[in-house]
Amino acid sequence: MKDDLMLIGEIAAFFGVSRKAMRLYEKKGIIKPVEVDAANGYRYYSAEQVQQLNALLELKALGFSLDEIKMIIDGKTEKAPLLEMLEKKRQAWQETMNSAKYKGECLDNIISNVQGSQTAEKIAEMTEEERAWLLVKMVCVEDVSVRQDLSAALWV
């Protein structure tokens, strides 16, 4: 029977995870070996466990916790709560993408400001205070009130 099974080290190496991670997945009850050799403690995994590990790693890459992954893999989640969980994760990724896009736009703005600034060419010769003022003028600040508060704080 062991000819069609994989040892913990083999399955871990195949997926690029550690044996320790595999033991954690076992401890959490997510992926249990199909057989544990009583004599030497070797853990053996079947094709089904390989598929489960693949699903686990995909869900983990999408940001799901091990507890959420266990619920999904175990099939203990009804369709509506599963869809809600997936939708929340999708919304979280959408927020992350929006944030990354905004940061990219801020960097574009800073690059444009630095490229268009004659003063920036002398940045190495400036005092710390002059550099600070230059950076304040060039850096993208998220909100007008934050910009006003920052400006007021700098004048104090």
pLDDT in tens, 54-93: 999 999 999 999 999 999 988 888 889 999 999 999 999 9
Q: What is the pTM of this model?
A: 0.68
Q: At what angle do helices 19-27 and 8-15 cross, to 10 degrees?
A: 110
pLDDT in tens, 96-136: 999 999 888 888 888 887 787 777 778 888 888 888 887 77
Which pLDDT does position 114 carry in this prediction? 79
- What are the extents of the domains in the chain? 2-74, 79-155
CATH hierarchy code of domain 2-74: 1.10.1660.10
